[in-house]
Amino acid sequence: EVQLVESGGGLVKPGGSLRLSCAASGFTFSSYSMNWVRQAPGKGLEWVSSISSSSSYIYYADSVKGRFTISRDNAKNSLYLQMNSLRAEDTAVYYCARDNEQWPVFDYWGQGTLVTVSS
Amino acid sequence: EIVLTQSPGTLSLSPGERATLSCRASQSVSSSYLAWYQQKPGQAPRLLIYGASSRATGIPDRFSGSGSGTDFTLTISRLEPEDFAVYYCQQYGSSSWTFGQGTKVEIK
């Protein structure tokens, strides 16, 4: 069974940093591209970042470019999101999501971790 | 960036009725790159439809997708109680993804 479990969320002050993790199991993690998607409270979904299976290709939404860094450790079956210079508008539930092998869609999602940026 | 606009914002229907949800793109989208997701309160989104019209694994056949170019539709033929949720369309292009703002299907 595919499982994605996020952790690392919490309360942080504006300008602060946080590192999210996503532990994957139930599939060959090293074969799949992975993504972070966020959802502000009561709002819709926003794609944040994507990383290819071997970390060769990395993409970011304009809203986080230069502040967030996606990475992965295939030996540990883990995905990460380093978030720096956090702003109030970064407050959201952050989901990790697996990229389907054949189609550019997200076929499995974690349960999410809440990041709150507030003074 | 391609903007996806979903309508209506809220759809109030009764169980057993047919639901028709619209997703309009600001520019033409390849049908291969259009997907639909369902999200229930407190849960992660679930993939329903990919490639505009193909159902994901385990998705009942009352869900169907159609459309091309800039206009796409998700149809739920007969609403079951568990179908009341928020639905998002999504497109892929230029190494990024965008979502529509969502349509809430609520019980009338």
CB nearest A103 (choices: B39, B51, B98): B51
Give the model confidence (pLDDT) of B25-66 as tens digits: 999 999 999 999 999 999 999 999 999 999 999 999 999 999
CB nearest B99 (choices: A44, A103, A112): A44
Closest among A1, A35, A42, A2 to A20, alpha carbons compared: A35
Q: Cα Rg for chain A, rounded, in angstroms?
A: 13
Q: Are B36 and B90 in contact (CB under 8 A)?
A: yes
Best of A105, A107, A109, A114 to substitute, by most chain B Cβ atoms within 10 angstroms, is A105
Closest among B85, B98, B13 to B43, alpha carbons compared: B85
Give the model confidence (pLDDT) of A53-77 as tens digits: 999 999 999 999 999 999 999 999 9
pLDDT of residue A101: 82
Q: Tell me the average pLDDT across A69-94.
A: 98
Q: Cα Rg for chain B, rounded, in angstroms?
A: 13
Beta strand A113-117 with A10-12 is parallel
pLDDT of residue B94: 87
pLDDT of residue A100: 93
pLDDT at A31 over 90: yes
CA dist., res. A100 & res. A102, Å (int): 6
Backbone angles phi, psi at B17, to 5 degrees: -80, 170
pLDDT at B1 over 90: no
pLDDT of residue A74: 98
Contacts of B36 (CB under 8 A, 6+ apart): B23, B47, B48, B49, B65, B74, B87, B88, B89, B90
- Asked if A95 reaches chain B (Cβ–Cβ under 8 Å), the answer is yes
